């Protein structure tokens, strides 16, 4: 049976976060179960973009600090690393507050920039994964709980996509196109290659609504931890009132026989059952709850009518062009006073929304999807 722990944590006050994470990990057997003396441990937060901690886009620095301290206490050598989507990693680390944590706690901060080819183990022939991640003795995964316009939610399994260095991520988005199932299957296979020893989710303040970049930061008030990233994602869905197999990565894991239809998960900590977290109004990105249920062939055929799509708010857009620079499908360009999106080219990956520093991109539903919703 899988074990997942969840501890109440109502703010990012340092002692509260530290105590919640210590207890959550202790309930799983303590950090010594996951880290051995002298091991180099890569701590992998969500550091996708240069956004301040209160925007709820990236993992909060106090969560990173607490895990770094636990790793050191267990005799491990902590490294903090991720690969941002665009822009300078140094700037991302500074703005997210993670550079300060690394310096104060004496942990090396590394950009996952070098790639090493690794053969796939199932559907995909080849992956290019960060060599820094492959060299680490252990990986501890620190996702932020957020909604995601394409993948519904970005939790423990999706967070590992950051182990694919920088722009190589773009190629995966392009390969999958609008096929959510193919992208989810790739994430599941990638998880099997990376095999984090532990996942600790920052769900103190999560993001709901228009995630992953412009949603609403909202208090969910807990830290969740577990050895099995699928079990963590499953339980987190339960906590926020989302049917777990709506999550494409869990669905793909079930289809591959990696996660059961009715998992037995022992929930330890402050909540006797997911409902005790009291989260009843967690908003999903518009339309996605329905979109994923539509067969891929139909979605492809009626793409504009049946999918959600990014929409630029011209009033907020500062024409910084970061989105256009990032767009895997090269579907965006500066046009007069704003950004135009070519929806025929757009693959609905929502990378633009995730990285827009001004919250100028939201999610619009295709007319038929809206009608069905």
- Decide if residue 318 touches ligand SF4 (CB under 6 A): yes
Stretch that binds ligand SF4, among 77-85, 179-187, 272-280, 351-359 (CB under 6 A): 351-359
Question: 127 φ, ψ to 5°?
Answer: -125, 150
- Decide if residue 170 touches ligand SF4 (CB under 6 A): no
What CA–CA distance (Å, rounded) separates 360 from 317? Answer: 5
Q: Which is nearer to ligand SF4, 176 or 190 (CB)?
A: 176
What CA–CA distance (Å, rounded) separates 62 from 48? Answer: 17
Q: Give which of 45, 38, 49, 30 is closest to 92, Cα–Cα.
A: 49
> How many Cβ atoms from other residues are within 10 Å of residue 13's Cβ?
12
Among 360, 362, 365, 366, binds ligand SF4 (CB under 6 A): 360
Question: Which segments within 177-227 are labelled E, that is strand?
Answer: 198-208, 216-226
* Chain residues 113-152 in contact with ligand SF4, contact rule CB under 6 A: none
- Decide if residue 306 touches ligand SF4 (CB under 6 A): no
- Decide if residue 198 touches ligand SF4 (CB under 6 A): no
Among 327, 362, 365, 369, binds ligand SF4 (CB under 6 A): 327
The pair of three-digit structure tokens given for residue 316, joined into one six-digit string: 């907020």
- Decide if residue 363 touches ligand SF4 (CB under 6 A): no
Give the three-state DSSP class for 187: helix
Q: Which is nearer to ligand SF4, 319 or 364 (CB)?
A: 319
The pair of three-digit structure tokens given for residue 189, joined into one six-digit string: 């296979």
Least distance between ligand SF4 and beta carbon 70 (Å): 36
Chain center to CA of 155: 5
Q: Which is nearer to ligand SF4, 297 or 335 (CB)?
A: 335
DSSP β-bridge partners for residue 126: 119
Stretch that binds ligand SF4, among 74-82, 131-139, 215-223, 345-353 (CB under 6 A): 345-353
- Decide if residue 329 touches ligand SF4 (CB under 6 A): yes
Q: Angle at CA 258, nearest 5°, toward 255 and 261?
A: 65
- Decide if residue 237 touches ligand SF4 (CB under 6 A): no
Least distance between ligand SF4 and beta carbon 315 (Å): 11
Q: 123-135 burial, b for 16+ CB within 10 Å, e for fewer?
A: ebeebbbbbbbbe
Site residues (CB under 6 A) for ligand SF4?
A: 310, 312, 317-323, 327-329, 331-332, 339, 341, 346-352, 356, 358, 360-361
């Amino acid at each position: 049976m899988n074990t997942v722990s969840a501890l109440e944590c109502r703010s990012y006050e340092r002692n509260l976060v530290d105590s919640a994470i210590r207890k959550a990990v202790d309930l799983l057997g303590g950090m010594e179960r996951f880290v051995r003396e002298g091991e180099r441990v890569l701590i992998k937060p969500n550091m996708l973009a240069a956004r301040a901690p209160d925007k709820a886009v990236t993992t909060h620095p106090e969560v990173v600090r607490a895990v770094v301290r636990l790793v050191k206490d267990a005799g491990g050598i902590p490294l903090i690393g991720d690969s941002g989507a665009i822009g300078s990693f140094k700037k991302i680390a500074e703005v997210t507050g993670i550079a300060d944590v690394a310096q104060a706690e004496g942990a090396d901060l590394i950009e996952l920039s070098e790639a090493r080819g690794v053969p796939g183990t199932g559907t995909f022939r080849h992956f290019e994964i960060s060599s820094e991640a492959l060299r680490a003795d252990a990986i501890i995964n620190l996702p932020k709980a957020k909604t995601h316009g394409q993948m519904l939610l970005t939790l423990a399994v999706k967070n590992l996509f950051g182990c694919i260095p920088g722009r190589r991520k773009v190629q995966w988005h392009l390969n999958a196109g609008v096929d959510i199932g193919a992208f989810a299957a790739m994430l599941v296979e990638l998880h099997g290659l990376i095999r984090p020893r532990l996942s600790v989710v920052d769900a103190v303040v999560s993001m709901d609504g228009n995630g992953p970049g412009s949603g609403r930061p909202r208090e969910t008030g807990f830290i969740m931890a577990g050895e099995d990233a699928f079990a963590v994602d499953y339980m987190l869905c339960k906590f926020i009132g989302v049917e777990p197999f709506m999550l494409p990565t869990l669905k793909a894991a079930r289809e591959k026989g990696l996660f059961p239809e009715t998992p037995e998960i022992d929930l330890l900590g402050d909540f006797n059952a997911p409902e005790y977290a009291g989260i009843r109004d967690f908003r999903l990105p518009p339309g996605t709850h329905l979109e994923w249920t539509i067969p891929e062939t139909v979605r492809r055929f009626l793409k504009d009518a049946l999918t959600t799509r990014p929409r630029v708010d011209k009033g907020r857009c500062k024409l910084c062009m970061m989105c256009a620079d990032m767009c895997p499908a090269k579907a965006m360009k500066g046009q007069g006073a704003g950004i135009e999106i070519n929806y025929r080219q757009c693959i609905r990956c929502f990378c633009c929304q995730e990285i827009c520093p001004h919250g100028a991109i939201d999610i619009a539903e295709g007319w038929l999807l809206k009608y069905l919703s």
